[in-house]
Amino acid sequence: MPLIRGSKGTTSGEISAPHRAALDSPDAESRWTAARALAGQADAVPALAAALDREPTPRVREAMMTALIRIGNAASIEVILPYLRSEDAGLRAAAIEALQALPDAIAPFMAPLLSDDDSDVRLLATELARNMEASEATRLLCELIEREHHPNVCAAAIDVLTEVGTPEALPTLEKCAVRFAATPFLPFAISVAMSRISGAES
């Protein structure tokens, strides 16, 4: 197939400049179109970050998140991460969905997220491990469970391990069941997880 060159050496920055400007438009349709056009353009991350922060229209926010997913680099992830702490449940959910779509790019951010001071952030971060490679997800979640004191965070991690965990998780789960023996739902969740993971071993 012949190579199709860009018109007269135009850079992506030049192409995206009008769209970046349109992110400030008072018209939601223009902002939507601009966000869609900037999908995958790495130099648009700062403009998308600023626009996302002030965007009032849910569908335009959605398009901005998708644009950042299409860029999919560390800078775009750093834009999305703070929304895990949003007071707005819709924004937290949008951030999680966006980050879940980037299982490879999120990997370097997982350890700090799973050690975050905020238990809600740790809980949300467990879900990000679901789409990761199984042994890495198991390692990260087991490290979390070993040091975690919040039963809800452990429960979230165990739920993910039930689907993706490898047999290396079994000792950690056993210890967790002992530690949280008095918490009614955790030993049950752990027994289900262990049974699924052991089943995978047979």
Instruction: Please report, as ranges, the residues that interact with other proteins according to CB under 8 A.
Output: 28, 36-37, 39, 56-59, 62-63, 66, 69-70, 72, 97, 100-102, 130-131, 133-134, 162-164, 195-196, 198-202
- Could you tell me the smallest distance in angstroms from the CB atom of residue 147 to other proteins? 26
Rounded least distance, CB 12 to other proteins, Å: 14
Give the shortest CB-57-to-other proteins separation in angstroms: 5
Q: How far apart are CA 19 and CA 176, in angstroms?
A: 51
Q: Report the nearest approach of other proteins to the CB of residue 111 (Å).
A: 21
Q: Which is nearer to other proteins, 100 or 115 (CB)?
A: 100
Report how far residue 47's alpha carbon sits from residue 37's, in angstroms, rounded to the nearest whole number: 13
Single out the residue of 10, 13, 31, 9 nearest to residue 22, CA to CA. Answer: 31
The smaller minimum CB distance to other proteins, of residues 154 and 164, is found at: 164
Written as six digits, the tokens of 138 are 């198991």
Left, alpha or beta for 40 (phi > 0: left; psi -120 to 50: alpha)?
left
By residue count, the chain amounts to: 202
Nearer to other proteins, 118 or 163 (CB): 163
Q: Of the two residues 162 and 172, which places its CB atom closer to other proteins in the complex? A: 162
Contacts for 147 with CB less than 8 Å, ≥ 6 apart? none
